[in-house]
Structure 1
Amino acid sequence: MNLYNFGKTLCSTLLHSFYKVEIIDAGKMPKTGGVLLCANHIHNFDPPLVGVASPREVHFMAKAEIFSVPVLKTLLPRLNAFPVKRGMSDKTALKTGLQVLRSGRVLGLFPEGTRSKTGETGEGLAGAGFFALKSDAVIVPCAIVGEYKFRRKIKIIFGDPIDFNALREQKATAQEATSLIMEHIKHLKAQHL
């Protein structure tokens, strides 16, 4: 068992022991090919929760600051995470994300860029739209619904892939593309409140 699968099993055990985790429509995730998996962000546990729910390995962008923590600096890359410098255009992170997608793997993003303090889904940053427009990846929205309170229900809902052909043909901006992704996430969330 590789470290990613071991970590996924461990996180699954811990998350299911603390919360009533319900995974909905994970079968909507394409079995092969590049996938941009975009979710709302409400808690620090969102990345492991989405990773546990996903039927495929997910490569997450994570804020660069946590890669300065000695143990995490070694562990995170082995768990398919790579750093992104927030608040600026990080060309290395953008290039890495595109490589993940173009090599047929799953890139996990939280388009809001940071956790919502109110639980409400905010506006997304242009990064998600950049990846959607610059790759041929399938874009899958994902909604996290619930409160991270002991034995409370947390739902992870996978949506239908978003058709991006029209936006790609129109040469839409990255922000317009992100806005479409966020609309789908908000719609998914509203359906499962």
Structure 2
Amino acid sequence: MRSWWIPPAGRWMRWWRWFVKLSGTGIRKQRRPVMGKYFDFAAENIAKPLFSIYYQIFHRCTWYGLDNIPCGGAILCANHISNLDGPLVSCRIRGRMVRWVAKEELYHHRIMAWCMRNLGAVRVDRSKADIRPVRDLLALLRKDELVGIFPEGTRMKNRARHSVQVNSSPVMLSARTGKPVVPVAICGRYRLFGKMQLKVGPPEFYQNDSRNKPGPEEQEARMRQLMGKIYRVVDGGEWN
């Protein structure tokens, strides 16, 4: 005979789901492991200096405009030519970590997935319409974190860069949080002992008025305009 105070298993599950939903402690794949803070320490004090030395010696890289990165939250928006772009942007930003948007394919490798989770990367599956990455990015920006996005979504060659459809999420995130979008131009190629430059432009602020938020078409137009500025600097121009 079942005691009156012991609910059936199904009721236990309903109570548990209700508790998780109410408390906001639901288990999610994006949740950062406890070791993340140790990864941040190692990245700041070991990985960043080593990457900086590597880029200076083997690619003769110079960085310009790093003072354009604000102290609070911001969205770093860069062109994408290689898997080495992320460390190139991050290694000279001292005292802060960049939380990069990482594609789902990078998580198919066990070691890479482990590193990405501990470094606080935001996992995005481009084959699905999932709102969770947007929520994660909004939460990071509201905590004054730096978020890094490659709007092209994949590595691009010069001849194809003007025809690709760019992701307008940086403009949307800026409009919803009031945080600026910081354009970053990666100039050159990763040739051994070649010459590369990374140029950070002035922050771009987008409308934060709830009555005048840019719609999808306007967001895409503004994003294309911003990428046009980045491409112009890549081709040897200046920020205007």
Band of TM-score, shorter chain: 0.7 to 0.9
Q: State the 1:49 CA deviation.
A: 0.5
Give the direction of change, closer, same or farther, for the CA distance of 1:88–1:130 in structure 2 (3 Å limit).
farther
2: CA distance between counterparts of 1:83 and 1:166? 26
The aligned counterpart of 1:90 is 130
The aligned counterpart of 1:34 is 73
SS of the aligned residue for 1:13 comes to helix
Aligned-pair identity (%): 27
1: CA distance between counterparts of 2:210 and 2:143? 20
Give the direction of change, closer, same or farther, for the CA distance of 1:79–1:10 in structure 2 (3 Å limit).
farther
Give the direction of change, closer, same or farther, for the CA distance of 1:181–1:132 in structure 2 (3 Å limit).
farther
Give the direction of change, closer, same or farther, for the CA distance of 1:74–1:144 in structure 2 (3 Å limit).
same
Contact 2:175/2:208 (<8 A) preserved = no
The aligned counterpart of 2:118 is 78
Report whether the alignment pairs 1:54 with 2:96: no
Structure 2, unaligned runs of 5 or more: 1-39
Report whether the alignment pairs 1:115 with 2:155: yes
1: CA distance between counterparts of 2:184 and 2:210? 21
Report whether the alignment pairs 1:4 with 2:46: no
The aligned counterpart of 2:178 is 136
Q: State the 1:73 CA deviation.
A: 1.6
2:204 to 162, 165, 169: 162
2: CA distance between counterparts of 1:99 and 1:185? 27
2:214 to 154, 160, 172: 172
Give the direction of change, closer, same or farther, for the CA distance of 1:34–1:166 in structure 2 (3 Å limit).
closer
Q: State the 1:76 CA deviation.
A: 1.6
1: CA distance between counterparts of 2:90 and 2:208? 30
RMSD: 2.2
Q: Which structure dedicates a bigger proportion of its chain to strand?
A: 1
Q: State the 1:98 CA deviation.
A: 1.0
Give the direction of change, closer, same or farther, for the CA distance of 1:93–1:66 in structure 2 (3 Å limit).
same
Give the direction of change, closer, same or farther, for the CA distance of 1:85–1:48 in structure 2 (3 Å limit).
same
SS of the aligned residue for 2:62 comes to strand
Asked which structure has the greater RCO (Cα within 8 Å, sep 6+), the reply is 1
2: CA distance between counterparts of 1:137 and 1:163? 7
Q: Spell out the pairing of 1:139-154 with structure 2 (5 A cutoff).
A: 139-154=181-196
Which is further off, 91-100 or 152-161?
91-100
Provide the aligned length of Structure 1 versus Structure 2: 191
Give the direction of change, closer, same or farther, for the CA distance of 1:79–1:14 in structure 2 (3 Å limit).
farther
Structure 1, unaligned runs of 5 or more: none
Whichever residue aligns with residue 193 of structure 2, its letter is: R
Q: State the 1:87 CA deviation.
A: 3.7
Contact 2:63/2:197 (<8 A) preserved = yes
1:45 to 84, 94, 100: 84
